[in-house]
């Protein structure tokens, strides 16, 4: 049996069971497309973000609904980074994020608030 840690994380709130829930799989390296799709379907959240390594950014997120992969999801991005920060896996500050639409800038403040810059940057201007 293979174990994969999958979470439901509330975005846009500090209260449990409020806000906008998203699935987050913090260690998705090695999962196949079919496995990610199956996890997203099992969680049943509107979107689930899968955190992977990236050669072009600090991390890569792939997003799946219960039925298909999508290119980008704001609340799943916020939920993922809030979880990674709360879990001590990333520090406050500026981060880069590879998605299917390109590399985006994400900022996590010292209190765990997550901000996303949806403007894609040319490779020469990316912060790493």
Residues involved in catalysis: 47
**pLDDT band at residue 71 under the 50/70/90 scheme:** very high
**7-125: CATH number:** 3.10.310.10
Name the average pLDDT for the chain.
91
Confidence (pLDDT) at 13: 82
Task: Give the pLDDT score at 83.
Answer: 96
Question: Does residue 24 have a pLDDT over 80?
Answer: yes
At residue 85, the pLDDT reads: 97
CB atoms within 10 A of CB 73: 23
Residue matched to tokens 């806000």? 19
Q: Per-domain residue ranges for the chain? A: 7-125
| pLDDT number for residue 78 | 96
CA angle at residue 114 from 85 to 70, to 5 degrees? Answer: 100
Closest residue by Cα to residue 80 from 28, 2, 4, 18? 28
- In this structure, the strands spanning 102-108 and 59-64 are unpaired
């Amino acid at each position: 049996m293979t174990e994969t840690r999958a979470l439901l994380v509330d975005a846009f709130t500090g209260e449990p069971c409020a806000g906008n829930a998203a699935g987050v799989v913090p260690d998705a390296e090695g999962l196949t497309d079919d496995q990610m799709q199956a996890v997203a379907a099992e969680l049943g959240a509107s979107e689930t973000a899968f955190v992977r390594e990236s050669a072009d950014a600090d991390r890569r997120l792939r997003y799946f609904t219960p039925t298909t992969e999508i290119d980008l999801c704001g609340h799943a991005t916020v939920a993922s980074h809030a979880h990674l920060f709360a879990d001590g896996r990333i520090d406050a500050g500026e981060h880069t994020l590879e998605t299917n639409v390109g590399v985006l800038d994400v900022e996590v403040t010292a209190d765990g608030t997550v901000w996303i810059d949806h403007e894609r940057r040319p490779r020469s201007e990316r912060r790493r």
